[in-house]
Every structure is written in structure tokens, then in C-alpha cells.
Amino acid sequence: MKKFINAVDTVLTETLDGFAAAHSDILALGGGHKFIRRKVLKPGKVALISGGGSGHEPLHGGLVGFGMLDAACPGQVFTSPTPDQMMEAAAEVNTGAGCLFIVKNYEGDVMNFEMAAEMSEGVMQVITNDDVAVEDSLYTTGRRGVAGTLVVEKIVGAAAEEGRALKDLKTLGDKVNRSTRSMGVALTSCTVPAAGKPNFQIGDDEMEFGVGIHGEPGRRRAKLASADAIAEEICEAIAGDLGAAAKGNALLFVNGFGGTPSMELYLMYNSARRQFEKRGITIARSLVGSYVTSLDMAGCSITLSMLDDEAARLWDARVHTAALRWGM
């Protein structure tokens, strides 16, 4: 295993120290490294809180800031944060209008965020489940929440900045989640520092269709194919799952898993865009880059989120985080 680390058991705390120092103009660390929070809170605004296992950076800490999250709770690598982390984060960033938890549909995340919500006041939740690859896996009951979570956090975050009420933000978050579908493909495994070896074995001429962001299996193992062929299968699965809703304007988000260069991500974007346009979908907004990663795994996911006028406006709204910045 070749990684830039000092000791396996201090990877997370040292990473958080470096991250907070690099972005000290907009972020601060909570006590005991339990959460990352906005440095300046907006009184009377609903606080948005998310989190999950580390190893998916910049999700979620890199999305804390103006126009997105107020706090993010990092667990150990690929491990859910604990309820006390969410409770302390909520207490710290709730300025009186309540908190909305945005939670990826993994059993540990859902269970722990639910416990924290029950022990806190003024909390509602949005569960993201955009992955069309599999209905159930080792980690979930129902579909997994993957890269579409970023889309929910951006659109709902912009609405929160406008001062919308907690229940309205939950309604909006659920609506965006229903309009969003994702699917990924892995070319290699990833290596968790504590394990020191790849999560799974895959041949040099193989790929895993529908892989999860922890490297969990997807739909099938297949021989490596061209980018166009890969995009066609994924886009067909996404559009087919959306059904009649797959028409009109959409956001196309091609996300890298951590080990894929931008050159290949933009090539995949080009292939996916052509596939969706052949199906009568207009790509009105785009995002390409490694935002929801799986450590050093090579591969990518494709996310399509259907946009009405409100969603497009909120996507375009100003955002200032470590990972996303526009409209300044």
C-alpha cells in the first residue's frame, strides 16, 4: 500500500486538521473533530447537516459553506458517523429555524441520523436514494444514496439561503431526490488504509457495472468496453428508470471516483450527453469532476437530475464552499 499517511489511526484527524486550516476563511472544526461547520452562521436560516463515512471527499465536508451545508459529520473511512456527532452539530449550527438532515440511504447512516433526529428538536430528514443499479445491497435496504446527494444539497442549500421554512425545504429535497438518478462503473478497486489491500479483486480487462461508492458489487462484472458502450448502458438504465419523467431540461453530472483523470471524465461526459440527447433530454446544466469519491478507485458515475425552472434557478444560485464556488 502506497499512501501519504503518518499512521493509520490518525488519518482522519490529520486530514480534518489540514482541511480546516486550508479553508479557515469559511470553515471551523467542531470539538473532538466531530463535525465541520460554517465559520459564519446566518441567524434564522434552517441549518442543513449531512455526513457519512470518510473516503468520499470532497463529499460532505467540502460542501459546507454559503449556499450548501451548515455542517458535515465525518465518520471513519466508509463508516457512519455516530448520533452524538449529529446531535452536537445540530446544537452548534441551529440558529432557531430548525435543522434538515440530508442522509444517504445506507443502513448505518439512516439509523444513526434517525437516532439523532429523535433526540433533537426541530429536525426533519431527506433520504437520498438515487442509485438505479440495485434495489438492495449489503449496506442498504432499498436503493443507495450516491452522487445525486450533491445535487440535493446544492438545490436545497440555495433555497435555505432564501429563508424557506423547514417543511418546505424537506418537500423540495424529496422532490429533487425523486427527479435524480445515478449509476456508476468501476475499473479498479479502492484501498482502505486500515485494510492495506484492495476492497475487491477485478481483472485488468474487467469492469463492475453499478458499483457502490464503497466498492460494493453492482449489477454485473463485464469485460472492459469503449466509453460510448459504457455510457450507453448506464444512460439507458437511468432514462429507463425515470420513465415518462425523462424529458425536458436536465443537469448532467459526471463524477469521478478518485482515481480517474479529468481527461477521461470529460470524455465520458461527451458520450453521456450524446446518449441523453438522443433520447430527447436537453442537457441544460453540467458538472464534471471528482466530488463523490471512493478513495483511489478508478471509475465514474453518471447522474441525471431533471430540472424545472425553480431547480435550475437554485442550481445557478451563488455557492461558496471548498469544492463548489460560483456566482460570486
Query: Active-site positions?
Result: 56, 214
**H/E run at residue 149:** helix 148-161
Coil, strand, or helix at residue 16? Answer: helix
Q: How many residues in total does the chain contain?
A: 328
Amino acid in the structure at residue 82:
T
Sort 241 into a burial class: Cβ within 10 Å, 0-12 / 13-18 / 19+.
middle
Backbone angles phi, psi at 18, to 5 degrees: -65, -40
- Are 102 and 152 in contact by the 8 Å Cβ rule? The answer is yes
Residue appearing with cell numbers 438532515: 101
**Whether residue 60 has a cis bond before it, omega within 30° of 0:** yes
Coil, strand, or helix at residue 97? Answer: coil
Query: What is the rounded distance in angstroms from the CA atom of residue 194 to the CA atom of residue 215?
Result: 15
Interacting residues of 221 by C-beta distance below 8 A, sequence separation 6+: 202, 206, 207, 208, 209
Residue appearing with cell numbers 469503449: 226
Amino acid in the structure at residue 169:
L
**H/E run at residue 65:** strand 65-66
User: Which grid coordinates are listed for 163?
Assistant: 429563508
Interacting residues of 278 by C-beta distance below 8 A, sequence separation 6+: none
